[in-house]
Structure 1
Amino acid sequence: MGRAFFSKPWRDTENYQKDFDFVKSYKPRNQDVKHLRILLHGPVGAGKSSFYNSVESLLKGRVVGRAPTNTNTGKSFTLKYKAYTIQKDPDSFYPFIFNDTMGFEEKTNNGVHVEDVKLAMRGHVPDGYKFNPEVQFQETDPGYKEHPTLDDRVHVLVCVMAAGLVSLTSDDVWKKMREVRLAASEMGIPQLAILTKVDEAFPEVKTNIDKGYKHKCLKQKVDEFSMSLGIQPNCIFLVKNYQSETNVNADINALILSALKWMVTSGEDYLNNL
């Protein structure tokens, strides 16, 4: 097993309790925004909905599964543009929202339209809109937000990719994700990425999830992902989503929290620089 791991992590670990306290106490300083909006996008089967469920599990201290998921990854199980909030206590919610999207697929008329994701980033797409792989969302469609507020717009874009699919993803899907990334760059939206299912891609990590940032092949996957998408390696995070577990786990939580903290701080920086 030793040959699979570096002696030291290739990314510094964060201060768990300090980061957890930060996330729990976070509030946007921009008075025009009630919620920091985080948009998840990526190919079918990447684990976008599962990541939201995992964040809620982390914050609630118990495994939950509010966002529907499917282990059969042939087609996108998410068909609607859905905004998920997380209840903090009986009277309030955390001030960040996750927007889930339909997955990208290889063919033109399959999966979510790139233009629909661009419209979502600009705040034009209403919550509950059902994606149509054959027809993109139009200004004349019911629910189209002609004059979105800053609160409607996306403040952080997160690409979600399963670690084992980095080398198997088609050029067509990479092209769609790069086009979304370019549009976000033009809007000034910060971009991060997460590699999910790290334990499925590399069995050595399954029983050593705390050593994820020491694993040599995962470092190579991060570098490969960086080259394919064009996003910096230090903006790519390793995650294991809650799937088979029935109780939360400190090591799994640590990976999720590291990614979540960067999403919140990146979005806060974006809002403060407007």
Structure 2
Amino acid sequence: MGGESSKPAPPPSPPPSPLLRNPWREITWGGTRQALKSMQEFQPQNEEATIRVLLYGPVGAGKSSLINSVNNVLQSRMTNDALASGTISSHSFTKIYKTYKIKKEGRGNFYPFVFNDIMGLEEGSGVRTDDIKMALKGHVKDGYKFNPSSSISAGDSGYNSSPSVSDRVHVLVCIFNVNTQIKPSVLQKMREIREAASDLDIPQLAILTHIDAACGETQSDLRNVYRSKYLKKKIGDFSSSLGIPMNCILPMKNYSDETELDSDVDALILNALKLIVNFGDDYADKL
């Protein structure tokens, strides 16, 4: 009698998918025309206010690139108004407090919201948290050059002693590269800035940039952003470390190596811009 025949080994189980079956947040892809029209028609509830958006975050997070990316979408073409560094550095490329207006159709017309870029947060140097606190209250004039060794104070040429409603910050937005680790000292600065904004009841959001490089799924298809298990965990980790709620954290890709606009990139930018402007508008209406 022959030996008992052995059963073939079962095929190996496929590896678990890095993607969720259903997205954990909904977004309308391809609906950029309506979203753009909404921004074009936006007018603040407070007629005296221009909505001021203050961007802050570690060096190299993409603050200047975000301003350019928003400008690209609203202008429907590539722009380079906010100079951004294309090299990796531990020191901030931005040195002054600068207000960026975005042109609207018609000569001399601008959108009723502006962005302020600020010197990046660095370990042991960079912009001082006291300067950002002053900026939140509208006490920092446009063009003020940051001094890492001393904060702005009353009597300085860059100090605004009588800020108007439009000089004040109406929404604070943290920009962070999702592929980097926050150094403890920088995280502490970020928390101090958040606390200062909270004391003033200023609404806060966070934008996590460079999501296309975060994982293979978003690199191959940006529409996987809300299906990526990896990105969802990174957003959850960021929420826990800084205390910003998940629904106030927006993953986004800035324009970087492109020379033409992309509808999926635009969709994420407009989705973030709508929340930023609406949050800021609600706050300005209370002032």
TM-score by length of 1: 0.95
Tell me which stretches of 4 or more aligned residues in structure 1 moved more than 6 Å.
none
Rounded Cα–Cα distance in structure 2 between residues aligned with 1:2 and 1:83: 47
- Matched position secondary structure for 2:141: coil
Q: Decide which of 156, 171, 190 is 1:177's aligned counterpart.
A: 190
Counterpart of 2:118 in structure 1: which amino acid? T
Please give the secondary structure, in 1, of the residue aligned with 2:226: helix
Specify the alignment match of 1:50 in structure 2.
Answer: 65
> What's the C-alpha RMSD, in Å, of the aligned pairs?
1.4
Post-superposition shift, 1:18?
Answer: 3.4
Deviations 1:85-109 (A, max 9, x none): 11012321111000000000111xx
Deviations 1:74-130 (A, max 9, x none): 2100001010011012321111000000000111xx110000000001000011111
1:235 aligns with 2:248: yes
Shift of 1:210: 1.6
Work out the number of aligned pairs and report it: 269
Gaps of 5+ in 2: 1-14
CA distance in 2, matches of 1:263, 1:143: 27
**CA shift at 1:19, angstroms?**
2.6
Bigger Rg over Cα: 2
Matched, 1:9 2:45: no
Q: 1:210–1:252: 8 Å Cα contact kept in structure 2?
A: no
Q: Tell me if structure 1 keeps the 8 A contact 2:165–2:284.
A: no
Structure 2: which amino acid aligns with 1:220? K
Deviation at 1:2, TM superposition (A): 7.9
In structure 1, distance between residues paired with 2:156 and 2:121? 22
More helix by share: 1
Give 1:62 shift: 1.3
2:36 pairs with 2, 6, 20, which one?
A: 20
Aligned 1:252-263 pairs, distance under 5 A: 252-263=265-276
Partner Cα distance (2:216, 2:145) in 1 = 37
Could you say which residue in structure 2 is the equivalent of 1:86? 102
Which secondary structure state, in structure 2, belongs to the residue aligned with residue 152 of structure 1? coil
1:10-64 Cα offsets, whole Å, 9 max, x none, are 111145443322111101121221x110000000010000000000001111121
Q: Could you tell me which of 134, 139, 158 is aligned with 1:143?
A: 158
TM-score (norm 2): 0.91
CA contact (8 A) 2:143 2:158 kept: no
Percentage identity across aligned positions? 45
- The one-letter code sitting in structure 2 at the alignment partner of 1:158 is V
- 1:4 maps to a residue whose letter is P
| Mapped pair 1:59 → 2:77 | no
Amino acid at match of 2:34: K
Q: Give distance in 1, aligned partners of 2:68 and 2:282.
A: 25
> What is the CA distance between 1:207 and its match in structure 2?
2.0
For 1:62 and 1:2, locate their aligned partners in 2 and report how far apart those are by CA, in whole Å: 40
Amino acid aligned to 1:83? T
Question: Counterpart of 1:257 in structure 2: which amino acid?
Answer: L
SS of the residue 1:214 aligns to:
coil
